[in-house]
Structure 1
Amino acid sequence: MRKYFHKLAEEEFKELVKEGMTWGECAEEYPQPKWCNYPDAVQGALGCWSLMDFRIKGRSSCKCCIQYIPATPTHKGERSVD
């Protein structure tokens, strides 16, 4: 299972940068959250600045954004994925 970008610790990201990972590779390996409709959110300076600055910790961090996709109801006993 892939790890979403907002779940990366800043230290993990810095290590990926040292290893030479490109933004394209990063977006492929660590995609933007499913509730985010921002085009290419994981694309450095052209992406979502809040996401790139590690300010997004979960769905509630994005609820005021116009690119936010509201959660759909889950079946009883299921968890929604953040």
Structure 2
Amino acid sequence: MLQEWVTKSDQVLTQLKHAEHHLRSVRSKFHGALPHGFIQPDIPTEMEVSLQTVTQTLESTTAEAEKAVARIKGLQTFFA
């Protein structure tokens, strides 16, 4: 059962890294398409704020997940 938890926790970290890469790609594409002269001027600002919020959430989620993975991997030595 422990090995299953370790495997699943590693999968979570992999998914978070993929999400981080995707977010960087989205931000890069968004900035590469500037200026957005055909839309309201406040929309790019709102988009950037949203990207920053998602980035912060992803960073905190990744940090929490890394701590949880370390705890899971340490269970075997704790109960040995």
The normalised TM-score by structure 2 is 0.25
Q: Greater helix share, 1 or 2? A: 2
Greater CA radius of gyration, 1 or 2?
A: 2
Higher relative contact order (CA 8 A, sep 6+): 2
